[in-house]
Amino acid sequence: MKILVTVKRVEDWESKIKVRPDQSWIITEGVNYRANPFDEIGVEEALRLRDANAPSEVVVVSIGPAAAGAEIRSGLAMGADRGILVKHDGFLDSDAVARILVKIVEKEKPDLVVMGKQAVDVDDNVCGQLLAEYLGYGQVTFASKKESLESPEEKGKKAGLKLSADKKSLQCAREVDGGLEVLEVSLPAIVTVDLRLNVPRYASLPNIMKAKKKTIEELLPAALGVDIAPKVKVVKVEPPPLRTAGIKVPDVAALVKKLHEEAKVV
């Protein structure tokens, strides 16, 4: 089984994000970067699937600046077999990303593409869906699992996605309002993963050392024949409104009065 898993380099959520004075984007100087956490869950799931269905291969692909090689290395250190970096500096809309991935899928012919359900930088949540549409593949979004993250199944590093006996389809659970639905999708397919699918492993130092020897192939969008001119452009970004200071009320009656008359919540 061949599994392609995507990893995006995103701003570390612990960095303090500030908006540029002209509101065109955020200030990137001094910001730390790391792999999108949903993608790390994707890598973990791909590794578990691989190990449960040998012989299999996990290929990590990222699209971004040369520095995104670090996020691929991170996936390789977790245990993935090799990497592909499609180098591009600057903004790409989700559609361009999906169309680049189409070319990678055509080249690699994986049985399964695993992606984070969204990247935590812009939260678009459309890439996996677009990719499935362009390829004409089945898709399962927000893959999750029945067992909790404290369950023995999770401690035993069991894959949440289950490959059928004939290896032609994959069973996936997904979270819906008030419960789970279980879907079966024929392969090849696109699966986007949610937060409660697994707890990604840490990369150990021996595995970090081993990953040095693994290869990362570098490609360019133009060489893949993809027009990356954006269809969606960022008009402006705004920081959330600053929290204003609270007020003190003398008693409960005054509080209820304010909630009723001013906030209009009771």
Partner 1 sequence: MIEAPFTPEHDLFRKNLRDYVERELAPHALEWDEAGIFPREVFTGMAELGALGINYAEDVGGSAGDYWYVVVLAEELVRSRNAGVNMALLVQSQMATPIIGEIGTLEQKKEFLAPALAGEKIAALGISEPDAGSDVANLKTTARREGDEYVINGAKMWITNGTRADFITLAVRTGEKGYGGISLLTFPTDVKGYSVSKKLQKVGNLASDTALLFFEDCRVPVRYLLGEENHGFYHVMTNFQGERLVAAIGAVAGMDRLVEDAIQYGGERSAFGRPLAKFQVWKHKLVEHLTAIEAARWLTYRAVDLFDRKEVAIKEISMAKLFAGDLMQKVVYDCMQLHGGMGYVVETPVARAFRDARLLTIGGGTSEIMKEIIAKLVPGL
Least separation in angstroms between residue 234's CB and partner 1 is 28
Which amino acid is it at 212?
K
- What are 43's two structure tokens? 């890598």
Residue 66's H or E segment, with its range, is none
Least separation in angstroms between residue 81's CB and partner 1 is 17
Among 77, 104, 105, 131, binds partner 1 (CB under 8 A): 77
Is-contact 190 135, C-beta < 8 A?
yes
Under rule CB under 8 A, residue 31 binds partner 1: no
Which amino acid is it at 133?
E
CA distance 145 to 193: 10
Under rule CB under 8 A, residue 264 binds partner 1: no
Q: Which is nearer to partner 1, 10 or 211 (CB)?
A: 211
CA distance 223 to 150: 46
Is-contact 120 36, C-beta < 8 A?
yes
Q: Treating both helix axes as pointing N-terminal to C-terminal, what angle do 37-52 and 69-78 enclose, rounded to 10 degrees? A: 40
Span near partner 1 by CB under 8 A; candidates 141-149, 156-164, 207-215, 227-235: 207-215
Span near partner 1 by CB under 8 A; candidates 106-114, 139-147, 184-192, 209-217: 209-217
Q: Which residues does 41 contact at the CB level (< 8 Å), separation at least 6?
A: 116, 193, 194, 195, 197, 198, 200
CA distance 80 to 218: 17
Span near partner 1 by CB under 8 A; candidates 47-55, 71-79, 133-141, 159-167: 71-79
Under rule CB under 8 A, residue 36 binds partner 1: no
Q: Which is nearer to partner 1, 69 or 160 (CB)?
A: 69
Under rule CB under 8 A, residue 245 binds partner 1: no
Among 208, 216, 224, 255, binds partner 1 (CB under 8 A): 208
CA distance 229 to 82: 29
Span near partner 1 by CB under 8 A; candidates 43-51, 144-152, 197-205, 236-244: 197-205
# binding residues, partner 1 (CB under 8 A): 16
Q: Which is nearer to partner 1, 151 or 204 (CB)?
A: 204
Residue 244's Cβ-count burial label (10 Å; 0-12, 13-18, 19+) is: exposed
Residues within the interface to partner 1 (CB under 8 A):
34, 69-70, 73-74, 77, 202-209, 211-212
